Amino acid sequence: MGKHRRYIAGPVGPALMLSVSLGLSGCLETSSTTLDDQGASMSSFDWGLPDSIPLPRVPVDNLMSEEKFELGRHLFYDQRLSVNGELSCASCHHQDKAFSDGLTTPFGATGERHPRNSQSLVNVAWASTLTWGNPSLGTIEQQIMIPLFGDDPIEHGLNAANSEQVVRNIQAEPVYAPLFQQAFPDQDAPLYGELAWDNIVKALASFVRGLVSFESALDRGELSDAALRGEKLFNSERLECFHCHAGYNFSDATVDRQTSFNQLVFHNTGLYNIDGMGGYPEPNTGRHEVTGNPDHMGQFRAPTLRNIALTAPYNHDGSVGTLEDVVRNYAAGGRLRTTAPNAGDGRMNPNKDGFITSFQITDAEIKDVVAFLESLTDESFVTNPRFANPWAKNSIQETP
């Protein structure tokens, strides 16, 4: 899940557009007030959540089921879901890296490099918007259409010329017929006809939505002395980390079934100031890229910090290598770049946002903050066979 600006509709026509319509129902170009009509704690799907965590919102036309989750797991790891049969969703989202990929920026099926770092898929069910800087993507279903069919950049590379063949490749796999029927029992032929792509997207979204992680050392109350000191620093007014990385999901871009007001929150962290006017390098201008509003230049969504120690490199373009360097950038109020390309003093940028400011911190304190961030790692999440590759013994095994 990254920048994703444009997609192409193809011969799948009505089904594809149905998926897009489903996604657009979650568009959030502005902050909005919503009512919880699903119940804060009612679900037939076993989310595996502790009692303290409220359920996430789920589209009413794609309610969660174990069968859809399992079908989505197979599709997520299936390389056939790309133009050349060589790239799956898991190619950029590896379980051992909390469903990120460890690269600065990833490559698509045709070799085109993506301009943004692959985000972790940890707890995206609770994200108020998807991607780093697009305020319009409000559902996972909508987002999934973009990497599949997007042409700027090309990721999976699906389009009008090849999408029907891709579906035929999926249909030819005997594993899928019963999985689709179990996931969509009310449909006579859920893998055929106009609903095929709609069902593929719904199943993928169900798997991604079910990637839940709330079993870290912090959740178990097993913090080291260093992590305890780091927690106090993290939540201090001196460092102010908690202002953007708040609550149980460590992100102010969090919503759930108890949330009545969905506020869009994006931040400029002072990584660039290439023209002395606060500019960010194209095409990574953040929220500004979508809205065109100069005040939105360099604003990006605060990702969850859960499993953050596993998801280096950091920031929207993967330009910061370690957690220690992330903390040092914040301590400086931004980043000074003295060499081309994109030289400039990002420290002149952040105060426009109103949240990011410089602060004093010692080397020992930085180590403590990093120890706290490392305590957010959930080893059970990255080793859970429930989230793992179901094709591991088959010829299409995904080997990130």
Give residue-wise pLDDT tens across range 95-140: 999 999 999 999 999 999 999 999 999 999 999 999 999 998 889 9
Q: What is the CATH number of domain 13-213+381-387?
A: 1.10.760.10
CA distances from 137 to 80, 141, 201, 264, 286 (A): 26, 9, 15, 11, 14
Strand partners, 286: 299
CB 300 within 8 A of CB 316: yes
What's the half-sphere exposure (Cβ side, CA atoms, 13 Å) at 94? 13
Q: Residues 6 or more apart from 304 whose CB is under 8 A from it?
A: 120, 122, 123, 126, 127, 245, 249, 250, 251, 254
Q: Residues 6 or more apart from 365 whose CB is under 8 A from it?
A: 229, 230, 233
Q: Is 22 helix (H, G, I), strand (E, B) or coil?
A: helix
CB 32 within 8 A of CB 196: no
**What does the pLDDT profile of the chain (400 residues) look like in tens digits?**
333 333 333 444 434 433 433 333 344 555 444 434 445 446 789 999 999 999 999 999 999 999 999 999 999 999 999 999 999 999 999 999 999 999 999 999 999 999 999 999 999 999 999 999 999 888 999 999 999 999 999 999 999 999 999 999 999 999 999 999 999 999 999 999 999 999 999 999 999 999 999 999 999 999 999 999 999 999 999 999 999 999 999 999 999 999 866 778 899 999 999 999 999 999 999 999 999 999 999 999 999 999 999 999 999 999 999 999 999 999 999 999 999 999 999 999 877 655 557 999 999 999 999 999 999 999 999 999 999 999 987 544 444 4
Q: What is the pLDDT of residues 160-194, one digit of tens each?
A: 999 999 999 999 999 999 999 999 999 999 999 99
> In CATH terms, are 13-213+381-387 and 217-379 the same topology?
yes
Which pLDDT score, from 0 to 100, does residue 137 have?
87
Helix (H) or strand (E) holding 32: strand 32-33
Architecture of domain 217-379: Orthogonal Bundle (1.10)
In the chain, where are the structural domains located? 13-213+381-387, 217-379
Which pLDDT score, from 0 to 100, does residue 263 have?
75
In angstroms, the CA 68 to CA 185 distance is 10
